[in-house]
């Protein structure tokens, strides 16, 4: 599945709920998921399955926000993160920034 397919899936599944909830409340859900990830990463024994689940939730909630704002995530990601470092134009990055 590519990024645009995933964004379409999240829109199909959750857009109406997200729209009713609104941007601010959807963002708060994202922050709660980030908090859950922080708790897992702060523990002595990292449960990779739980961390994996939280990372997936964070991406899904981020995509929900993009859908509410009509932002194409695939376009945004590849524009912000091309196949090279935007500062030193190398891949991998050599500038250390």
* pLDDT one-digit tens code per residue, 57-82: 999 999 999 999 999 999 999 999 99
Q: What integer best gives the mean pLDDT of the chain? A: 95
Whether pLDDT at 97 is above 70: no
The CATH superfamily of 3-80 is: MazG-like (1.10.287.1080)
- Residue extents of the structural domains in the chain: 3-80
Who wins on pLDDT, 96 or 19? 19
pTM for this one? Answer: 0.89
Percentage of the chain lying above the pLDDT 70 cut: 98
Long-range interactions of 24-32: CB distance < 8 A, separation 24+: 26/61, 26/64, 26/65, 26/68, 27/65, 29/61, 30/58, 30/61, 30/62, 30/64, 30/65
Who wins on pLDDT, 96 or 13? 13
């Amino acid at each position: 599945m590519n990024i645009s397919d995933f964004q379409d899936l999240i829109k199909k599944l959750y857009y109406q709920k997200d729209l009713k909830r609104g941007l601010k409340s959807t963002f708060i859900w994202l922050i709660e998921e980030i908090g859950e990830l922080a708790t897992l990463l702060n523990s002595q024994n990292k449960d990779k399955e739980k961390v994996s689940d939280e990372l997936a939730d964070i991406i899904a909630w981020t995509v929900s926000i993009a859908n509410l704002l009509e932002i194409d995530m695939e376009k945004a990601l590849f524009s912000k993160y091309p196949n090279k470092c935007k500062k030193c134009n190398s891949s991998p990055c050599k500038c250390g920034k």
